[in-house]
Amino acid sequence: MTELRFPADLYSGPAIDAAVKVYAEHARAELEKTADVFIVRLEALGDVNEELLVDELSNYALGATIERRGE
């Protein structure tokens, strides 16, 4: 299991949710929100490479945050 921490002042909560949903068939994820950080605990399913999954989910969350700020 890998824990990802996304600072709330840099990332959009809806973008984090969207990223987790996109990769839901490849990972089990738990979400937690504190006052200053979004926490995603991620565990790859099957033979999915967890390190690659973490990178892809992080990239998706960043891209979705950027798109949402442009709206």
**What was the pLDDT predicted at 36?**
96
For residue 67, give both structure tokens: 């798109």
**Cross-sheet strand order for the sheet of 37-44:** 2-7, 37-44, 27-33
Binning pLDDT at 50, 70 and 90, where does residue 64 land? Answer: very high
Binning pLDDT at 50, 70 and 90, where does residue 68 land? Answer: confident
Tell me, yes or no, if the pTM score tops 0.85: yes
**What was the pLDDT predicted at 12?**
93
Q: pLDDT tens-digit profile of 5-46?
A: 999 999 999 999 999 999 999 999 999 999 999 999 999 999
Backbone angles phi, psi at 40, to 5 degrees: -120, 120
How many helices (DSSP H) and strands (DSSP E) are in the chain? Answer: 2, 3
Residue 71 has pLDDT above 70, yes or no: no
